[in-house]
């Protein structure tokens, strides 16, 4: 398909096949990836510091993979991010729909309150969470994964308003007549939601989920204030490890993470592609 496509003339909307667009994308990708490539290259550097190239080694991979603390932190981070994403998408979609659809008293205040978690400086929210969980005596020392509950709650809190924002802006384009048509044809509230609203919302949900996952996976400040001795996440671990500069060990762990992500996505796309072809037949 791609091979054949090269010979066709460029259609007006095929922006991805225009040279200036391709150059632009290439430039952005270079900007985004140059630092990452440097990071990956230096994960093979035989020096404690990421400063000068001293020779090739794989020992930092060995070290990273044997660093139980780092692996544990990574598992914690992924668990929290996954949980936070699921809950944020649900809560965020609900909030987005509510704001898009209904007129209700104090709507302005509710809207403001919902955008607060986006606005509040991270450190302020971190401290608020620290005090909150200390004041209500949130149980600590629970078995995994219950001990991650405080961090997960905090993450959902700052992630779901982002989802709500995206979902709402997506819904703005929804043609209400479709919904009414569905209802006229006898579909119930739930059926209309499932078959008409949800498909329209989907790109917003995907974008929201990606945002939530990214925010949760990368959050340091709020996590720092809600974590305990047994609940260290990857960013918290890394942050404390780089006091004396980033070691190749951290680079190695990041490289593994990047490659893993690409591999998993490729696999998912491949499976989906096979399925799509199967469905078509």
Partner 1 sequence: MTVIRSNSSNLRMGRRSLLQSLGAAAVGISFAGLAGCGKKEESAGGGKIAPTGEEPKLNFYNWDTYIGETTLGDFKGASGIDVNMTLFASNDELFAKLRAGNPGYDVIVPSNDFVERMVAADMLVALDQAAIPNVKNIDASFMDVAYDPGRKYSMPYTWLTLGIGYRKSKVKAKPDSWKVLFDSDEYKGRIAVLSEAGDMFRLYGKYLGKSVNSLTPADVKSIEAMMVKQKPFIKAFHEDNGQDLLLKGEVDLVLEYNGDIAQIMAEDDDIDFVLPKEGSQLNSDTLCIPKGAPHPKNAHAFINYLLDAEVDKKITETILYPTPNAAAKALMPDDYKNNPVIFPPADQLAKCEYATYRPDMQPLYEEAFTRVRAS
Partner 2 sequence: MSLENWQEHKRPFAAIAGAPLTWLLVFFLVPMAIVWLYSFGQNAGPADIAITGTLDNYKRATEWLYLSIFFKSLAVAALVTLICLIVGFPVAMAITFASDKWRPWLLLGVMLPFWTNLLIRTYALMMVLGGNGYANKALGALWGGASWLRTLVGLQLLDAWSPVQLLYNNFAVVLGLVYVHLPFMVLPLYSALDRLDRSLIEASLDLGAGHLRTLWTIVMPLAAPGIFAGIMITLIPALGAYLTPDLMGGTESQMIANVIERQFKRANDWPFGAALSFLLIYAMFILIALQSLRGRKPAEA
Q: Which of residues 54-113 bind partner 2 (CB under 8 A)?
A: 90-92, 94-95, 97-98, 101-104, 108, 110-113
**55: phi > 0 → left, psi -120 to 50 → alpha, else beta; which?**
left
Residue 240 found at the interface with partner 1 (CB under 8 A): yes
Q: Residue 121 phi/psi, 5° resolution?
A: -60, 140
Token pair of 147, please?
Answer: 């001990």
Q: Interface mask (CB under 8 A) for partner 1, residues 59-78, using x and -?
A: ----------x---------
Q: If contact means CB under 5 to 8 A according to the sort of partner, which of partner 1, partner 2, none does residue 124 touch?
A: partner 2
Structure letter (DSSP) for residue 147? G
The answer to whether 113 and 160 have CB atoms below 8 angstroms apart is: no
Give the residue, chosen from 190, 229, 278, 281, that forms a contact with partner 1 under the rule CB under 8 A: 229
Residue 121 contacts which entry, partner 2, partner 1, none (Cβ below 5-8 A, type-dependent):
partner 2
Q: How many residues bind partner 1 (CB under 8 A)?
A: 28
Q: Are the C-beta atoms of residues 63 and 252 closer than 8 Å to each other?
A: yes
Residue 47 partner contact from partner 2, partner 1, none using kind-dependent CB cut-offs of 5 to 8 Å: partner 1
* 124 makes contact with partner 1 (CB under 8 A): no
Among 45, 67, 76, 157, binds partner 2 (CB under 8 A): 157
Name the nearest CA neighbour of 76 among 219, 263, 187, 244: 219
Phi, psi dihedral angles at 85 (to 5 degrees): -65, -50
User: Which residues on adjacent β-strands are paired with residue 56?
Assistant: 45
Interaction site with partner 1 (CB under 8 A) = 47-49, 51-52, 69, 127, 130-131, 134-135, 140-141, 224-225, 227-230, 232, 237, 239-245
């Amino acid at each position: 398909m791609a091979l054949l496509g090269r010979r066709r003339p460029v259609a007006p909307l095929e922006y991805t096949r225009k040279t200036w667009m391709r150059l632009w994308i290439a430039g952005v990708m270079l900007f985004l990836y140059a630092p990452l490539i440097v990071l990956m290259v230096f994960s093979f550097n035989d020096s404690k510091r990421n400063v000068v190239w001293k020779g090739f080694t794989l020992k930092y991979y060995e070290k990273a993979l044997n660093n139980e603390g780092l692996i544990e932190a990574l598992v914690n981070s992924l668990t929290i991010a996954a949980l936070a994403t699921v809950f944020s998408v649900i809560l965020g979609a609900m909030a987005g729909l509510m704001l898009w659809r209904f007129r209700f008293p104090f709507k302005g205040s509710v809207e403001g309150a919902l955008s607060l978690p986006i606005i509040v400086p991270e450190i302020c929210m971190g401290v608020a969470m620290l005090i909150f969980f200390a004041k209500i005596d949130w149980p600590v020392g629970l078995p995994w994964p219950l001990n991650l509950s405080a961090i997960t709650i905090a993450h959902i809190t700052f992630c779901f308003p982002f989802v709500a924002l995206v979902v709402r802006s997506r819904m703005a384009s929804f043609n209400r007549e479709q919904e009414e048509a569905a209802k006229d044809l006898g579909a119930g509230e739930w059926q209309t939601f499932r078959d008409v609203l949800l498909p329209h919302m989907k790109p917003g949900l995907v974008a929201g989920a990606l945002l939530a996952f990214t925010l949760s996976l990368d959050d340091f400040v709020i996590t720092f204030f809600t974590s305990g001795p047994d609940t260290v996440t990857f960013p918290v671990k890394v942050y404390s490890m780089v006091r004396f500069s980033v070691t190749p060990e951290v680079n190695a762990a990041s490289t593994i993470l990047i490659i893993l992500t690409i591999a998993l996505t490729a696999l998912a796309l491949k499976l989906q592609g096979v399925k799509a072809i199967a469905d078509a037949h």
